[in-house]
Amino acid sequence: MKKNSNLQELMGYAGGHRYLTYLSLLLSAVSAVLALFPFVFLFRIIREVIEVAPNYAQATHIVRNGWMAVGFAVLSIVIYVCALMSSHLSAFRIAGNIRKALMAHIAELPLGFIGETGSGKIRRIVSDSSAATETYLAHQLPDMSAAVTTPVCMIVMLFLFDWRFGLVSLLPVILGFAAMFKMAGPSMAEDMKLYQNALADMNNEAVEYVRGVPVVKTFGQTVHSFKRFKGTIDGYYDFVMSYCKKCRPSMLSYTVLVNSAFAFLIVLALILAGGGPVAQPVLLNFIFYVIFTPLIATAMTKVMFMSENGMIVADAMSRIHSILDVEPLPEPRSGKVPTDNDVVLENVTFRYTGGTTDALRDVTIRVGAGETVALVGPSGGGKSTAAKLAARFWDIDRGRITVGGVDVATVDPEKLLNAYSIVFQDVTLFNNTVMENIRIGRKDATDAEVIQAAKEAMCEEFIAKLPQGYQTMIGENGSTLSGGERQRISIARALLKDAPIILLDEATASLDAENETEIQQAISRLVEQKTVLIIAHRMRTVENANKIVVLSGGTVAETGTPEELMKKNGTFARMVKLQTESQNWSLA
């Protein structure tokens, strides 16, 4: 099946507005043609002046030709503005529909895809890539229509007045493009890819460096302590300098040649004069071509950069497809609904997309209704993966996951997630009030219910200190709050939702002792009479669990109560011993 071009695909998002895009192309081409007419009338003025010289009073058509030149220039501008109005209306509709399509598709994708890809990258694709298509359709596409139309009409005009001067005018253009072929030919796409890669590497490392500035300043280090960052800067510099040096001869030759048409015209005029006086027709044509040919350089440069505009929109569409081409989870058709709150992972094997090893391999975990099961183990052991699979963040490769005896793959995703309250270590808050950030837990909750959930989550004390209390705007991702405060708002959401199954993923991992104590109290209220799957590194977080499952290397290493695992003196016992020693450590 033949793949649609980028333009055809974009028109698919335009609906009835696609005709505005086509209209903008037509109007832009007409504007480009009309923009050439002032030069014709300027030529008539010059010709009349030369013909009547020195009796300039006989030049009776100068004013008329002047107004005609102005009229065509103004008409060209008006039509071009109409072209841009048409293209913008269509571009806005297309960009808006692309954003809607992306967001609608994202809503159907596995929650795990959002976590793997990163919200920042997805946001950039939704915002920046759709904006790139808007710029292309609103400005670059109409200009491309004019860029193609102008040279065609110019070639006609060049040969209309005097084919000899027309041919000579094209000669430097042909030589200029021949000089540019080495730079802008087939190797350009590969060079642009390498450039973008070098730029992306440098930008990524720059972000890491900025995040590490406090450490750099604290220990008196320099940028050289971040070897990868410095390496990407050096790599970017080396590539850009080598690329510039490679392009310099071609670009220099092109610039000189396309702007030197007048020199070729002078040579031809001298040849036609034959060493004697210049004939009036030759002089007139020479003057016209000297005035007219600078447009050739401008028009040809626009044509040359059309390929760059195509690369930009192709890259934008490729990024958009990196989301749209991801398959959503299969929609269940059974209509079954869990009637109990037990969670079972039975012989589960799962591997991330692009992974080389299984994240989980033949894992079995049983969490009875009303039980608290803790997942512990070394980093990368599969704890977070197991918890997220229970809520169907992804579909598993082998095995079975059930909630209340019903396979999660057969439950409507919205109904399944209604059964879960999830508290992650990384809390996501919105640039809204404290009240509305908590109310996300249950959109129909009253203010009184939100306040009660905040009290149970130990939020009341810090909320009372905020300028407008519950109506205080907390900034992007809660930037005005501390880590502990943000975590307590997350727990308040879960309390407000009051779901029967709770997933706690490292909810206290990055908190100080005082905040951890307060949040542990809030968590105790959250998990009362609930089915709980909790992930933690700190052993005090899991000491009251009914059962502990130790995951290591994607498999179950140990299972049992805290007392049973301590007696086994295995992985769990070693973790407890190491953590106890670190807590008791002090200066001699």
Could you give phi then psi for residue 540, rounded to 5 degrees? Answer: -65, -20
Report which DSSP code applies to 499.
-
Share of the chain above pLDDT 90, in %: 16
For residues 386 and 46, the model is more confident at: 386
Is residue 244 within 8 Å of residue 183, measured between CB atoms? Answer: no
Residue range 340-361, pLDDT digits in tens: 889 999 999 998 877 888 999 9
pLDDT tier at 183, thresholds 50, 70, 90: low
Which of 219-223, 252-256, 531-535 holds the top average pLDDT?
531-535
At residue 2 the predicted structure's pLDDT band, cuts being 50, 70 and 90, is very low
Residue type, 5: S
Asked if pLDDT for residue 140 goes beyond 90, the answer is no
C-beta of residue 79 within 8 angstroms of C-beta of residue 27: yes
Question: Which residue in 473, 434, 466 sits closest to 451, CA to CA?
Answer: 434
Q: Which tokens is 564 given? A: 């049973």
User: Over 70: is that where the pLDDT of 213 sits?
Assistant: no
The values of phi and psi at residue 535, to 5°, are -115, 130
Residue with tokens 């009051």: 498
Pick the CATH number of 329-419+499-588 from 3.40.50.720, 3.20.20.70, 3.40.50.300, 3.40.1710.10: 3.40.50.300
Nearest to 359 by CA among 344, 345, 342: 345
Choose among 464, 470, 466: nearest CA to 446: 470
* Mean pLDDT value of segment 355-375: 89
Alpha-carbon dihedral sign for residues 71, 76, 77, 78: positive
Residue 236: predicted pLDDT? 83
How many C-beta atoms lie closer than 10 Å to residue 206's C-beta? 14
pLDDT given for residue 162 in this prediction: 76
**Inter-residue contact 495 to 470 (CB < 8 Å):** no
Residue 187: predicted pLDDT? 64
pLDDT at 581 over 80: no
Spatial contact of 368 and 531, defined as CB atoms under 8 Å apart: yes
Q: Which residues contact 112 (CB under 8 A, 6 or more apart)?
A: 388, 393, 394
pLDDT of amino acid 89:
92
Mean pLDDT of 169-187: 72
pLDDT band at 92 (very low <50, low <70, confident <90, very high): very high
- Are 115 and 393 in contact by the 8 Å Cβ rule? The answer is yes
Record the pTM.
0.66
Pairing of strands 372-376, 501-505: unpaired
Percent of the chain whose predicted confidence (pLDDT) is above 70: 85
The answer to whether the beta carbons of residues 583 and 411 sit under 8 Å apart is no
Q: Identify the burial level of 158 via C-beta atoms within 10 angstroms of its C-beta, where 0-12 means exposed, 13-18 middle and 19 or more buried.
A: buried
Cα 101 to Cα 96, 107, 116, 130, 453, distances in angstroms:
9, 10, 20, 11, 36
User: What's the pLDDT score for residue 587?
Assistant: 44
Q: Which residue has the higher pLDDT, 345 or 285?
A: 345
Laid out side by side, the sheet with 547-552 consists of: 420-424, 501-505, 531-535, 372-376, 547-552, 555-560
Residue 584 has pLDDT above 60, yes or no: no
Spatial CA neighbour of 340 closest among 400, 405, 390, 392: 405
- Per-chain mean pLDDT for the chain: 81
Contact between 441 and 496 (Cβ < 8 Å): yes
What's the mean pLDDT in 239-246?
83
**DSSP secondary structure string for all residues of 247-263:** HHHHHHHHHHHHT-HHH
**Is 168 within 8 Å of 268 (Cβ atoms)?**
yes
In angstroms, the first-to-last Cα distance of the chain is 75
User: Please, which pLDDT band fits residue 372 given cuts at 50, 70 and 90?
Assistant: confident
- The more confidently predicted of residues 28 and 282 is 28
**What pLDDT was estimated at residue 436?**
92
| Model confidence at 572: pLDDT above 70 | yes
1-161+293-327: what fold? ABC transporter transmembrane region fold (1.20.1560)
Which among 5-19, 155-169, 190-204 has the top mean pLDDT?
A: 5-19
Token look-up 């031809």 returns: 268
Q: What is the pLDDT of residues 503-551, one digit of tens each?
A: 887 655 555 556 666 667 777 777 778 888 888 776 666 777 888 999 9
**Calpha distance 411→96 (Å, rounded):** 32
Average pLDDT over residues 415-438: 85
In sequence order, which residues have a C-beta less than 8 Å from that of residue 239 and are 6 or more positions away?
194, 195, 198
Point out the least confidently predicted range of 250-259, 341-350, 427-436.
250-259
In the structure, what pLDDT confidence band is assigned to residue 307 with cuts at 50, 70 and 90? low
**Interior angle at CA 480, CA 107 and CA 99, nearest 5:** 25
Count of C-beta atoms within a 10 Å radius of residue 382: 23
Side by side, the strands of the sheet bearing 398-403 are: 360-367, 343-350, 398-403, 406-407
Quickly tell me which residue has 């072929």 as its tokens: 181
H/E stretch holding 374: strand 372-376
> Across the strands, what pairs with 560?
548
SS3 letters for 213-232? Answer: HHHHHHCCCCHHHCHHHHHH
**What is the tens place of the pLDDT at every residue in 455-485?**
888 888 889 999 999 999 988 778 788 878 8
CA distance 44 to 65: 7
Whole-number pLDDT of residue 78: 96
Instruction: Give the confidence band of 123 by pLDDT, cuts at 50, 70, 90.
Output: confident
Query: Which residues, including other chains, have CB under 8 Å from residue 165's CB and lie 6 or more apart?
Result: 158, 265, 268, 285, 286, 289
